[in-house]
A = this chain, B = another copy of it.
Amino acid sequence: MKGNVIVGQSGGPTAAINSSLAGVYRTAIDRGAKKVYGMLHGIEGLLKENYIDLSEHIRNDLDVELLKRTPAAYLGSCRYKLPDIHKDMEIYKKIFEILDKLEIEALVYIGGNDSMDTIKKLSDYAILTGSEIRFIGCPKTIDNDLALTDHTPGYGSAAKYIGTSVKEVIRDSLCLEYSGGVVTIIEIMGRNAGWLTGASILAKGEDCDGPDLIYLPEITFDLKKFEAKVKKLVEQKSSVVVCVSEGIHDKDGKYICELGNNSDFVDAFGHKQLTGTASFLANYIGNKLGCKTRGIELSTLQRAGSHLASRVDILEAYQVGGAAVLAADEGDTGKMVVLVRHSDDPYQCGTEVKDVHKIANDEKLVPKEWISKDGSYITDDFITYVRPLIQGDVSPIMVDGIPRHLYRPTKK
């Protein structure tokens, strides 16, 4: 490379997004980039000329290893969508002025759907104006809902966290014997796509029956049918564990978590309050069946749990970061790196680049045929798909009993 590289991170944090950052940095240096800049808080920060020289932050091999093990976006994230080019040319002018000033040859943006939209617009603008700067997207999202790529970095680590945590909760529930049974409802992220909730099946194995019911948002949720299923299970077992996606909804498209607000309840401050899906269903089942219930939300823990990252995921994230730089150096622009799976077992997977115009704003859902007919479980095809992605561990670097991260001092 002759010029400089700039890299940004965007959208929701994951356990693997910093491994892609490490991959971008290392590969850019290896290929002769003079400077590798990191934009702070994505394109939004770049517009305010907030960026850092990464070589001042990633000083040695240990820092690279720490970065790979640091959850959330090291550079800070944003949720900023560029306007259409014809609607606000000025903003593009400004971005390209900054990029030219920094002598940028390639811009890599690590993120999900919105970030790929950014890559698409910037590369379109470059073509329109004859700029030689190259723009490459690097996929990242725990939601695994990006089109064209077999899976997205970040998903495997979240899946491993979910499988492990659900198994531990099942063990916990099993050992408490309540007359009438205990029903545990676990709420997992995913508004429209059930990839994360499906990963709860990973709790199942020779030593664990796994969840009893799994509900993805791809399927309409029927409260009455759900109640009947749980009732039958409670008659058979002392502990019933149900995994639900936060995005499950009824036939009218209304989120289940909104059903708790049918009454005119407002909190002490006059605001309507959203009850979580798990706590709503736990209350519902408790009232209907008269058994003990509990609701558990895996919350942001599931996307930040880098202490339990998947080795396959962290390595692929790194690899994808490197492939983005490589593609730019070879002249590509307006492309996203994708993961292409060659075989499940032994697992083999490589990278390619695809036109970002075919990816942006498209949402990949769990195939209907991977969901059981009555919509309350998933099939073995799902397991075959997800199992390779959670293999191997990345031992945290423990300092005084707690995982060490790479730290970037911040101020408001």
Q: Which residues of A contact B (CB under 8 A)?
A: 9, 13, 41, 44, 70-78, 160, 163-165, 167-169, 171-177, 181, 202-203, 205-208, 236-238, 259-260, 262-263, 265-269, 271, 273, 275-276, 279-280, 283-284, 287-288, 294, 296-301, 303-308, 310, 387, 390-393, 398-407, 410, 412
A163 with B401: CB separation less than 8 A? yes
A76's contact among B72, B175, B273, B392, by CB below 8 Å, is which? B175
Instruction: Note all chain B residues with C-beta closer than 8 A to A283.
Output: 267, 269, 271, 273
Q: List 12 A-B contacts (CB under 8 A).
A: A71-B172, A74-B175, A78-B177, A167-B405, A169-B300, A205-B402, A260-B267, A260-B268, A265-B267, A269-B287, A296-B297, A393-B398
Q: Report the Cα distance A263→B272, complex, angstroms.
A: 12
B171 with A70: CB separation less than 8 A? yes
Chain B min CB distance to A281 (Å): 12
Q: Report the Cα distance A177→B9, complex, angstroms.
A: 12
Chain B min CB distance to A278 (Å): 10
- Of A163, A168, A306, A406, most buried by chain B (CB within 10 Å of CB) is A168
Instruction: Note all chain B residues with C-beta closer than 8 A to A172.
Output: 13, 71-72, 300, 303-304
New contact pairs (9) apart from A164-B402, A203-B402, CB-CB < 8 Å: A74-B175, A165-B301, A171-B405, A259-B268, A269-B284, A276-B279, A298-B301, A390-B402, A392-B401
B299 with A297: CB separation less than 8 A? yes
Q: Report the Cα distance A267→B282, complex, angstroms.
A: 12
Chain B min CB distance to A382 (Å): 15
- Of A44, A164, A237, most buried by chain B (CB within 10 Å of CB) is A164
A71 with B168: CB separation less than 8 A? yes
B175 with A310: CB separation less than 8 A? no
Chain B min CB distance to A189 (Å): 12
Of chain B, the residue at the smallest CB distance from A306 is B168
A310's contact among B176, B206, B392, B401, by CB below 8 Å, is which? B401
Of chain B, the residue at the smallest CB distance from A207 is B407
A305 with B271: CB separation less than 8 A? no
Known: A13-B172, A387-B400, A412-B236. A300 touches B296 (CB 8 A): yes
Instruction: Note all chain B residues with C-beta closer than 8 A to A310.
Output: 401
Q: Report the Cα distance A402→B203, complex, angstroms.
A: 7
Of chain B, the residue at the smallest CB distance from A77 is B175
Instruction: Note all chain B residues with C-beta closer than 8 A to A288.
Output: 269
Instruction: Note all chain B residues with C-beta closer than 8 A to A72.
Output: 168, 171-172, 174-175
